[in-house]
Chain A
């Protein structure tokens, strides 16, 4: 049976919109969908106005929310609409090429694609979310659009709510076990050799004053744990180690190191280096302040098993690195280690495929159960190198965008927004998933978005420090097939 969520007293206190308890049946018959429509001032709002002046008849279900441009529509607005009880949402603006601000809708088009892909992956009934280009002269289109959307939302029924688990009889979904890893444990002598070369390199960088700190890994208090270690002198460098338990993404320490000044070296696996590339792209780290010590990595072990991200990785040092350390030695630049490591298909894609093959309602139930466990510890945010905002959206309180309450509703908003904030930026280091005490499959969410971005815009994050992030650029011919 479905596991109940921990806190169930919320509905007792819903405010003025709540149905009067004395008339439930009658209210159900008269249910009118509430559809929030985020529409741009210059085109769709004017078009909706025209629908009125030309006396077009269409359902009175829409609450228009006027914005200057679709480019201003933060996905958070759509997410909040659902959180606050909208049964459906329409997002509409000028046709591409006709934007009053020239290109706002072009950037928006990319953002909407990510938003839609994510919400669909989470199991939101796609009959509830609609995108359209409606110009100022298309009063007729507007009235038809509202009619179609209203019909679709009626079919979908009243939205149970962001964080409601839907039909309680649904059998909980369990993800299938991933396939066996493509390779066994690495040779201890190789690890030891790499560690020694690393120690010598670190000591050299520190002794020669090339860096003020080397951030690497050292033994933690619970063997075989390896934890981040900060070496500021050659003696410290001797404590640095290397093995398959070096899981942390040390790039998380770079934005603060940049602010402190001086030069910092970090040991960077290929996945970690993708985060560094992201930080470089976004000007959070200056290239000259960081020395990247790439390392030939056979894959890391999490909970006794090879991490899923490592299945498809060849373990070579990323091309952006200043040094490469392998069992053979430490060489300047990004060198190929020569080890032909067995790689396999990324198992996350199969898991994503499994979820996408499920009916949306089952998928929704799966994610609701996941988010019900979320503790809002913000471990995911804390370990992520790209969550560097000095004031996180969750910390803003005027207004309090992300509910503080640790319930399924607030958790859903938080996790959705975080995923969208990372869209096109996440390097898939999976640290968020490793640290989550509730076992939320954040890796699948982030990877699904990465897949969408790659499919639509041909962009793979973490490759090129000079590339423009995909969600702040656009191409005039970006696909917009999901927009009416």
Chain B
């Protein structure tokens, strides 16, 4: 009969239950999921990888695995409700069962960061892509140098991970700088005011061996790369994630194709040096 194992096709998700939902902002929510067969088989992933989350009947969507694998009792994702599936996900209630398949994609090369100073620059919900590697390095704090978290959003209300930022600030050797766009500050705001690339410039980092991990909307990346270049950072010192629309996550459906890359297979983590070799198709 069938010699090819027609057991589980790679499209078949595992099942996970929503155990908590936390509203980061009016339109951004973080969900915490636990696999139904967790006891039998935990999910193993590396920081930077993503998974496909299913709301059965609505569809499937890609989100980064937003927590570090050093905390693998659960899986988290942070999402903004903008389309069909994200709206479906944002409407999930605790206890509901969803699908989860993964992990897919490549990872942040965290072993290359050992002993070096790190700057995490996250714009808006782009911060979600940085949370897993950030938690990872904090969980293995001794292996890494100085850590700076630079997080920006349009306004105070749009800042994500508000409580966690405080925890991170309180960690040893970690500096958190938060900024909102001009006009987005409130009277009580005690952080920076300015666009991320400008604030980064003001912080005056010297390149020397530092790794900069940048995630955010395409326009922000564009200006950040300019600021980094001005400050003398080499393209292979800068790491980012590509946010292309992905469907299958398996390198089959072709949707995330950019040049010779498939974001789901060759990314989503890329160095700025790699991004520069790609056609401007993102």
Contacts and interface: CB of A to CB of B under 8 A. Distances in A.
- Do chains A and B directly touch (beta carbons under 8 Å) in the complex? yes
Interface of A: 397-398
A445 to B, nearest CB: 31
A403 to B, nearest CB: 13
B162 interface: no
Sort A-B residue pairs by CB-CB distance and give the 4 closest, nearest first.
A397-B84, A398-B84, A398-B87, A397-B83
4 contacts: A397-B83, A397-B84, A398-B84, A398-B87
Interface string B83-109: 110010000000000000000000000
A433 to B, nearest CB: 30
A397 B88 CA distance: 12
B134 to A, nearest CB: 34
Interface of B: 83-84, 87
A324 B84 CA distance: 50
Chain A interface main SS type: loop
Contacts of A398: 84, 87
A398 B87 CA distance: 10
Contacts of A397: 83-84
A395 to B, nearest CB: 12
B255 to A, nearest CB: 14
Nearest to A396: B84
A397 B84 CA distance: 7
A400 to B, nearest CB: 8
A42 B96 CA distance: 39
Contacts of B83: 397
A92 B84 CA distance: 33
A292 B270 CA distance: 52
A398 B83 CA distance: 9
Contacts of B84: 397-398
B21 to A, nearest CB: 21
A398 B59 CA distance: 11
A397 B82 CA distance: 12
Nearest to A398: B84
A326 to B, nearest CB: 48
A398 B84 CA distance: 6
A17 to B, nearest CB: 15
B13 to A, nearest CB: 17
B81 to A, nearest CB: 12
A398 B85 CA distance: 10
A277 B185 CA distance: 53
Nearest to A399: B84
Contacts of B87: 398
